[in-house]
Amino acid sequence: MSDEIRVLPKGYSDTPVIPGQVWRVHDVDRPMPPVIAPASDATQALVGEPPSDALVLFDGTSTDGWIHRNGDSCGWTLVDGDAMEVTPRTGDIRSKDEFGTCQLHVEWKAPTEIYADSQGRGNSGVFLLGLYEIQVLDGYENPTYADGVTAAIYGQYPPLVNVCVPPGVWHTYDVVFESPEYHHGKLAKPAAMTVFHNGVLVHHRQEMQGPTQHRALASYADPHGPKGPLVLQDHGDRVQFRNIWIRELEKLQAD
Ligand code: MG
């Protein structure tokens, strides 16, 4: 084997400018993207590793980053060394930090003890900005309303498919959330979500009709800021969560 490699061009400066951009095709001067380490996939036994530039919101060791919506310290329970479990009727919990447009990863599983059907089975939720819910539900062979099934944008859009695994098995949600934008108190750009459930696309940049409502229409009548906490719902069921991480997205396209 040769100990020299062939040195090839690292780009060009005599190519056409890409329409709408300042860069040429294969532009030698275009900045390279930052280098990060990838996430590793979770298995049922092993929690995955976040990518190296993620902010870890829950790694199984502590609930310190979380409080209840009313400000009380987190009353949910650490379990199995890597997860936390809803303590029913302690209330929703929220991250102490606030986020806007982001990529989010959450793993969760529903309890194996089944004492109700429909919305009474493994119900919880993941709320972006504390306002926009992706439904968490044990939707495995469990009839309910379509816009309330697992991974639904609750009350607005069912997922494209139901990718549920049985109760007691870990699920993953991978989400790209875009905060809504207001201009002088009027909606300029609605919130949008892309969601993968267990690796399968279930919402593709779905524009939302407003913050989540129950048995009511959503709207953007009450403007809110571009950031808010991540909220996990206490709906009375002992749902567990693990490996929660987030990447704030200052921009959705490279420069
Ligand atoms: Mg819910």
226-252 pLDDT, tens digit per residue, is 999 999 999 999 999 999 999 999 888
Q: What is the pTM of this model?
A: 0.93
* 44 lies in some domain: no
The whole-number average pLDDT for the span 124-138 is: 98
Q: Using the mean position of ligand 1's atoms as its centre, give its distance from the Cα of residue 215 in Å.
A: 13
The whole-number average pLDDT for the span 188-209 is: 98
134-187 pLDDT, tens digit per residue, is 999 999 999 999 999 999 999 999 999 999 999 999 999 999 999 999 999 999
* 14 lies in some domain: no
Q: Residue 213: which domain range?
A: 55-248
Q: Using the mean position of ligand 1's atoms as its centre, give its distance from the Cα of residue 53 in Å.
A: 29
Q: What is the mean pLDDT of the chain?
A: 95
- pLDDT at position 41 is 78
* 198 lies in some domain: yes
Q: Using the mean position of ligand 1's atoms as its centre, give its distance from the Cα of residue 6 in Å.
A: 57
* 38 lies in some domain: no
* 139 lies in some domain: yes
* 209 lies in some domain: yes
Domain count, the chain: 1
* 35 lies in some domain: no
Q: Using the mean position of ligand 1's atoms as its centre, give its distance from the Cα of residue 70 in Å.
A: 19
Residue 88 phi/psi, 5-degree rounding, is: -55, 140
* 67 lies in some domain: yes
Q: Using the mean position of ligand 1's atoms as its centre, give its distance from the Cα of residue 153 in Å.
A: 10
Q: Using the mean position of ligand 1's atoms as its centre, give its distance from the Cα of residue 142 in Å.
A: 15
At 2, the pLDDT band (50, 70, 90 cuts) reads low
User: Residue 221 sits in a domain of what CATH number?
Assistant: 2.60.120.560
Q: Using the mean position of ligand 1's atoms as its centre, give its distance from the Cα of residue 226 in Å.
A: 23
41-67 pLDDT, tens digit per residue, is 778 888 888 999 999 999 999 999 999
Q: Using the mean position of ligand 1's atoms as its centre, give its distance from the Cα of residue 159 in Å.
A: 14
Q: Using the mean position of ligand 1's atoms as its centre, give its distance from the Cα of residue 194 in Å.
A: 18
